[in-house]
């Protein structure tokens, strides 16, 4: 874990030297602060009657998803909060697979954050009172990285586990349908 | 099969030394022998195994858990003509483990979650449904059921059908009308408890135990009054003696099971409160001794470093007085379990020959790979013999009753231990064997899987998994993932074996006609000759089979064979829960062993009933 994030930071530093900027490490420290909450109303993949558009992607999405620290923290929490006990390293078990291209309740990061916070009726626990919103967003970002949605230079090159799963830098990017369209 | 076969009482230490030298070979046999073998066959325990009346009223067929049908119309000579009588869709697509029940012209089918109970009228052409009872279990229960949302069966007694729901209720339904008689809540899904086992009715009580050994629950068995559903007694399998119902009547055979409050002292502080030892498997009953026999699950978490000690009363078998629940004896087959080797497997009651005598015995094909023959009066192990490839234990010391572990196979944090055999689901998982008194053989559908395992600290959060292990399973020596073994419990060796490519995750049925039936995970339902294992008939079902086959006499007097196809369970979750084969650790590592299963079968739920042509 630590060596993973250290490695990422080193690579990041190298990139800063060469490219001069690195948007995955951008912390928005001087930007207008974002409210620390998970929107309760963020719905799963659904139909909006009357042709209303799907709500736009929450602006926090990129801040978490392209941030090595957030992904790394998310990975650690994913293990500590026992997400791994149901979803394993993306293949699923008691809970559905997270590394594939099927999303019961939407595959957009804000939809995943809402699923974590509110729980879902077929067994997903509600974590709103157990985790901070920041932590929930971090886990959501890590979950997205399991299907290759996070930038390869932001994900950890080492898994937080003892077995033989592929490093996340090797993860194939799956197509996240419909809900993903808003994210490009 | 065997390295050698010693006939004499043999010094266990010498045997262990011999096994030490054979690091990748099968556990040495010579430590297993205590009593000389007899030339007499094993017989039925008559009180627990009455003559067949043509019905099938409990999953094990009888209190002896024989899974043996006394019907003789279908034989090796005519089984080739076996054809469909009728089918019935269960409306479910999850792992279907339960047997149908047949009571005087009506068939009862209990499904996996959402636990529908159907009654089919066998007196009418095509067996139309009479009624369906929908218990409407809480959907959230699906999120705390470790290994698919299965149900292992209902039971009939005295005009009522009894079954458990995934969300922790025991329900009695009037067998004629399909109306609920009573409903008692026993388990709490908020703590990670579910109920998947089939209850047993004995002495006017409905016996029920909890599931959740992977969720940090505390295991128990409860007895409800069959008439009212009121709690008669409840015994925990961890904790102080008063909770475990251990008192002056408790007389275990081995010294390691003796002492005060071992259910507390063999755990780290408070570990017993979240230590598993659940009752998700099978219960047998001896009507003469008035004792029930059941096994307890793995201790929690899987990571053994978090629970130093023997972890009583996990991974062992209890004998309890049926009327009071008081423990009579206990035998722990696996001390300080390292590999999720639950001991919940069936206990088959037989009269077993020792010298010139016959003793009331239990036959237990254990998950840790040893076939146990035990004296069911006192819990003494008569023999414990490997019935497949074992490298994670050297044998069983019959003096102390203790399993002899292999230190280099012990999981430790910071390293991955490779090639542990048998793997976490054991030599045999939940799916019970059948015993035929006609051949004296035990027909065991089982696994040939090994695993790599790494452990890390598990974090207890109520209602979430409490495991702390990463597992990756694969085929054992030979490459076949399943084996069907006809085991001779007296000679302590297989009479014959059938290697199956896929893991065998469904139970067996033996018949007096001389046949044995079982299903495979790619959907073949097979009949083989009970004497030599020759394949005589097979039928391809629409989904993989992990269900219990039964045989019954229909209202027309003819013999029928029934099975429900519906792949799933721990082994089949890759199909029934649509898991991703690219993650070798998925479903606690079982996915890696069955990556090809989605190419070989699809989910479903269909009852098939067969008979001979007129």
Residue numbers in A near B467 (CB within 8 A)? 85
Decide which of A50 and B74 is more confident: B74
Q: Which of residues 130-189 of B touch A (CB under 8 A)?
A: 139-147
Q: Which residues of B589-606 are buried (b: 16+ CB within 10 A; e: fewer)?
A: bbbbbbbebbebbebbbb
Q: Which of residues 456-515 of B touch A (CB under 8 A)?
A: 456, 458-459, 461, 463-467, 470-472
- Asked if the structure places residue B458 within a domain, the reply is yes
Please tell me the total count of domains within chain B: 1
Share the mean pLDDT of chain B.
Answer: 94
Mean pLDDT lowest among A65-74, A156-165, B152-161:
A156-165
- Asked if the structure places residue B371 within a domain, the reply is yes
Residue numbers in A near B146 (CB within 8 A)? 94
Q: What is the pLDDT of residue B277?
A: 98
Residue numbers in A near B454 (CB within 8 A)? 161-163
pLDDT digits (tens, 9 = 90+) for B302-325: 999 999 999 999 999 999 999 999
Task: Supply φ then ψ for residue B148, to 5 degrees.
Answer: 75, 165
- Distance of residue A27 Cα from the nearest chain B Cα, in angstroms: 30
Q: What is the pLDDT of residue B25?
A: 39
Q: What is the pLDDT of residue B156?
A: 98
Per-state percent for chain B, helix, strand, coil, to nearest 5: 10, 35, 55
Say if CB B370 and CB B385 are below 8 A apart. yes
Q: Is B167 considered catalytic here? A: no
Residue numbers in B near A164 (CB within 8 A)? 416, 452, 472, 584
H/E segment holding residue B517: strand B515-519
Say if CB B471 and CB B587 are below 8 A apart. no
Nearest CA in chain A to B190: A125
- Hey, are the CB atoms on B459 and A161 less than 8 Å from each other? no
Length of chain A: 184
Q: What is the pLDDT of residue B414?
A: 83
Residue numbers in A near B573 (CB within 8 A)? 93
CB neighbours of B599 closer than 8 A, spacing ≥ 6? none
- Distance of residue B208 Cα from the nearest chain A Cα, in angstroms: 23
DSSP string of B463-484, one letter each residue? TS----EEEEEEE-TTS-SEEE
- Please state, in angstroms and rounded to a whole number, the distance separating the CA atoms of residues B95 and B506: 10
- Asked if the structure places residue B149 within a domain, the reply is yes
B119 in helix, strand or coil?
A: strand
- Asked if the structure places residue B4 within a domain, the reply is no
- Distance of residue B147 Cα from the nearest chain A Cα, in angstroms: 7
- Hey, are the CB atoms on B584 and A164 less than 8 Å from each other? yes
pLDDT digits (tens, 9 = 90+) for A64-115: 999 999 999 999 999 999 999 999 999 999 999 999 999 999 999 999 999 9
pLDDT of A4 above 80:
no
Nearest CA in chain B to A171: B582
pLDDT band for B95, please (50, 70, 90 cuts): very high
Highest mean pLDDT among A151-155, B18-22, B247-251: B247-251
B95 in helix, strand or coil?
A: coil
Angle ∠(B85,B88,B94) on CA atoms, nearest 5: 135
Closest Cβ–Cβ partner in B143, B458, B579 for A91: B579
- The domain in which residue B272 lies consists of 12-611
pLDDT band for B245, please (50, 70, 90 cuts): very high
pLDDT of B37 above 60:
yes
Residue numbers in B near A129 (CB within 8 A)? none
pLDDT digits (tens, 9 = 90+) for B163-221: 999 999 999 999 999 999 999 999 999 999 999 999 999 999 999 999 999 999 999 99
Q: Can you list the positions of beta strands (E) in B34-168?
A: 43-44, 68-69, 83-89, 101-103, 106-110, 117-121, 129-133, 155-157, 160-164
Closest Cβ–Cβ partner in A79, A94, A130 for B143: A94
Q: Which of residues 130-159 of A touch B (CB under 8 A)?
A: 130
Q: What is the pLDDT of residue B559?
A: 98
pLDDT band for A7, please (50, 70, 90 cuts): low
3-class SS letters over B363-406: EEECCCCEEEEEECCCCEEEEEEECCCCCCEEEECCCCCCEEEC
Nearest CA in chain A to B581: A91
Q: Which of residues 569-608 of B touch A (CB under 8 A)?
A: 573, 577-588, 591
B562 in helix, strand or coil?
A: strand
- Please state, in angstroms and rounded to a whole number, the distance separating the CA atoms of residues A48 and A55: 10
Identify from B459, B582, B591, B598 which residue to disrupt to test chain A contact, counting A C-beta atoms within 10 A and taking the largest count: B582
Q: What is the pLDDT of residue A158?
A: 75
Q: Which residues of B100-121 are buried (b: 16+ CB within 10 A; e: fewer)?
A: bbbbebbbbbbbbbbbbbbbbb
Tokens 């339904």 -> residue: B173
- Distance of residue B459 Cα from the nearest chain A Cα, in angstroms: 6
A2-24+58-183: CATH superfamily: Cytochrome c-like domain (1.10.760.10)
Percent of chain B with pLDDT over 70: 94
pLDDT digits (tens, 9 = 90+) for B219-235: 999 999 999 999 999 99
Closest Cβ–Cβ partner in A92, A102, A123 for B586: A92
Q: What is the pLDDT of residue A10?
A: 53
- Please state, in angstroms and rounded to a whole number, the distance separating the CA atoms of residues B154 and B593: 30
pLDDT band for A167, please (50, 70, 90 cuts): confident
Catalytic residue among B210, B298, B311, B448: B298
- Hey, are the CB atoms on A91 and B145 less than 8 Å from each other? no
pLDDT of B6 above 50:
no
Percent of chain A with pLDDT over 90: 43
Domain spans, chain A: 2-24+58-183
- Hey, are the CB atoms on B143 and A92 less than 8 Å from each other? no
CB neighbours of B81 closer than 8 A, spacing ≥ 6? B612, B613
Q: Is B415 on the interface with A (CB under 8 A)?
A: yes
Closest Cβ–Cβ partner in A93, A122, A123 for B586: A93
Angle ∠(B338,B340,B341) on CA atoms, nearest 5: 90
- Asked if the structure places residue B529 within a domain, the reply is yes
Percent of chain A with pLDDT over 70: 70
- Hey, are the CB atoms on A94 and B579 less than 8 Å from each other? no
Identify from B93, B583, B588 which residue to disrupt to test chain A contact, counting A C-beta atoms within 10 A and taking the largest count: B583
- Asked if the structure places residue B3 within a domain, the reply is no
pLDDT band for B7, please (50, 70, 90 cuts): very low
Percent of chain B with pLDDT over 90: 92
Segment A46-58 mean pLDDT:
81
Segment B78-95 mean pLDDT:
98
Residue numbers in A near B466 (CB within 8 A)? 82, 85
Segment B247-272 mean pLDDT:
98
pLDDT of B26 above 70:
no
- Please state, in angstroms and rounded to a whole number, the distance separating the CA atoms of residues B582 and A97: 10
Q: Is A163 on the interface with B (CB under 8 A)?
A: yes
Say if CB B541 and CB B608 are below 8 A apart. yes
Identify from A75, A81, A87, A88 which residue to disrupt to test chain B contact, counting B C-beta atoms within 10 A and taking the largest count: A88
Peptide bond into B422 cis (omega under 30): yes
**Which CATH number does the domain housing residue B33 bear?**
2.140.10.10
Mean pLDDT lowest among A154-168, B48-62, B387-401:
A154-168
Cα A126 to the center of its chain, rounded Å: 17
What does DSSP assign to residue B112? S
Identify from A75, A77, A80, A82 which residue to disrupt to test chain B contact, counting B C-beta atoms within 10 A and taking the largest count: A82
Catalytic residue among B62, B257, B310, B340: B340
Bridge partners of B88, per DSSP, are: B607
Segment B577-598 mean pLDDT:
97
H helices of chain A, where? Answer: 2-19, 60-65, 68-80, 83-87, 109-118, 133-146
Segment B514-535 mean pLDDT:
98
CB neighbours of A61 closer than 8 A, spacing ≥ 6? A108, A109, A110, A183
Distances in whole angstroms, Cα of residue A133 to Cα of each of A128, A129, B118, B448, B461:
8, 9, 46, 46, 19
CB pairs under 8 A between A and B: 122
CB neighbours of B109 closer than 8 A, spacing ≥ 6? B88, B90, B98, B100, B101, B116, B117, B118, B120, B564, B607
Catalytic residue among B193, B214, B452, B453: B214
- Hey, are the CB atoms on B140 and A123 less than 8 Å from each other? yes
Burial grade of B159 (CB within 10 A; 0-12, 13-18, 19 or more): exposed
Q: Is B214 considered catalytic here? A: yes
- Please state, in angstroms and rounded to a whole number, the distance separating the CA atoms of residues B60 and B346: 9
Nearest CA in chain A to B149: A94
CB neighbours of B188 closer than 8 A, spacing ≥ 6? B168
pLDDT band for A153, please (50, 70, 90 cuts): confident
What does DSSP assign to residue B42? P
Distances in whole angstroms, Cα of residue B399 to Cα of each of A45, B12, B75, B490:
63, 8, 44, 20
Nearest CA in chain B to A102: B578
Q: Which two tokens stand for residue A134?
A: 């920041």
Angle ∠(B361,B362,B368) on CA atoms, nearest 5: 140
Angle ∠(B468,B469,B472) on CA atoms, nearest 5: 160
């Amino acid at each position: 874990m630590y060596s993973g994030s250290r490695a990422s930071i080193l690579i990041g530093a190298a990139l800063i030297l060469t490219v001069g900027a690195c948007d995955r490490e951008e912390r928005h420290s001087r930007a207008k602060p974002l409210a620390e909450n998970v929107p309760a109303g963020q719905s799963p993949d659904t139909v909006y009657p009357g042709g209303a558009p799907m709500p736009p992607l929450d602006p926090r999405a990129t801040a978490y998803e392209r941030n090595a620290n957030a992904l790394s923290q998310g990975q650690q929490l994913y293990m500590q909060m026992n997400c791994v006990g149901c979803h394993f390293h993306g293949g699923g078990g008691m809970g559905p697979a997270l590394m594939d291209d099927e999303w019961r309740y939407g595959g957009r990061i804000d939809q995943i954050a809402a699923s974590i916070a509110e729980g879902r009726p077929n067994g997903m626990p509600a974590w709103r009172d157990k985790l901070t919103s920041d932590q929930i967003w971090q886990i959501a970002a890590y979950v997205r990285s399991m299907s290759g949605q996070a930038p390869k230079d932001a994900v950890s090159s080492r898994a937080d586990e003892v077995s033989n799963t592929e490093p996340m830098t090797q993860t194939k990017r799956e197509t996240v349908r419909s809900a993903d369209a808003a994210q490009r | 099969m065997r390295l050698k076969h010693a006939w004499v009482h043999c010094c266990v230490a010498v045997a262990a030394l011999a096994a030490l030298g054979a690091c990748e070979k099968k556990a040495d046999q010579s430590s297993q022998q205590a009593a000389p073998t007899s030339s007499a066959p094993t017989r039925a325990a008559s009180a627990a195994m009455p003559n067949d009346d043509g019905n099938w009223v409990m999953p094990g067929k009888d209190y002896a858990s024989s899974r043996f049908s006394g019907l003789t119309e279908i034989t090796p000579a005519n089984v080739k003509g076996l054809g469909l009588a009728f089918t019935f869709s269960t409306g479910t697509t999850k792992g279907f483990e339960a047997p149908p029940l047949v009571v005087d012209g009506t068939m009862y089918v209990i499904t996996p979650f959402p636990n529908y109970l159907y009654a089919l009228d066998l007196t009418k052409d095509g067996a139309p449904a009479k009624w369906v009872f929908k218990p409407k279990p809480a959907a959230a229960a699906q999120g705390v059921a470790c290994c698919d949302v299965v149900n292992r069966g209902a039971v009939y007694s005295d005009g009522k059908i009894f079954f458990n729901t995934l969300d922790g209720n025991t329900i009695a339904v009037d067998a004629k009308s399909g109306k609920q008689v009573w409903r008692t809540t026993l388990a709490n899904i908020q703590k990670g408890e579910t109920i998947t086992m089939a209850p047993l009715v004995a002495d006017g009580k409905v016996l029920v135990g909890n599931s959740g050994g992977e969720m940090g629950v505390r295991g128990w068995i409860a007895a409800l009054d069959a008439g009212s559903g009121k709690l008669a007694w409840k015994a925990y399998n961890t904790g102080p003696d008063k909770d475990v119902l251990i008192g002056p009547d408790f007389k275990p055979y081995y010294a390691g099971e003796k002492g005060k409050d071992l259910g507390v002292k063999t755990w780290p502080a408070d570990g017993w409160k979240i230590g598993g030892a659940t009752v998700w498997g099978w219960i047998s009953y001896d009507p003469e001794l008035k004792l029930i026999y059941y096994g307890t699950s793995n201790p929690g978490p899987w990571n053994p470093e978090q629970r130093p000690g023997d972890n009583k009363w996990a991974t062992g078998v209890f004998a309890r007085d049926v009327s009071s629940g008081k423990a009579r004896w206990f035998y722990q087959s696996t001390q300080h379990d390292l590999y999720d080797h639950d001991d919940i497997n069936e206990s088959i009651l037989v009269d077993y020959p020792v010298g010139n005598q016959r003793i009331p015995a239990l036959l237990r094909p254990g998950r840790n790979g040893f076939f146990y023959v035990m004296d069911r009066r006192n819990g003494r192990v008569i023999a414990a013999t490997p019935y497949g490839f074992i490298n994670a234990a050297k044998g069983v010391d019959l003096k102390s009753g203790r399993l002899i572990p292999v230190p280099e196979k012990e999981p430790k944090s910071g390293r991955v231990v490779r090639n542990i055999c048998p793997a976490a689901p054991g030599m045999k998982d939940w799916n019970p064997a059948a015993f035929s008194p006609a051949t004296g053989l035990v027909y065991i559908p089982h696994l040939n899987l090994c695993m790599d395992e790494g452990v890390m600290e598990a974090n207890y959060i109520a209602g979430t998994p409490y495991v702390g292990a990463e597992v990756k399973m694969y085929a054992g020596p030979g490459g076949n993932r399943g084996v069907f073994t006809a085991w001779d419990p007296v000679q302590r060796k297989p009479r014959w074996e059938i290697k199956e490519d896929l893991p065998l995750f469904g139970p067996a049925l033996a018949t007096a006609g001389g046949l044995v039936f079982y299903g495979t995970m790619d959907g073949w339902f097979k009949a083989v000759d009970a004497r030599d294992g020759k394949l005589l008939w097979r039928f391809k079902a629409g989904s993989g089979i992990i269900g219990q086959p039964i045989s019954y006499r229909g209202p027309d007097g003819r013999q029928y064979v029934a099975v429900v196809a519906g792949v799933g369970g721990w082994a089949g979750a890759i199909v029934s829960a649509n898991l991703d084969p690219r993650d070798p650790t998925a479903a606690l590592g079982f996915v890696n062993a069955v990556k090809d299963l989605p190419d070989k079968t699809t989910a479903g739920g269909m009852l098939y009933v067969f008979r001979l042509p007129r």
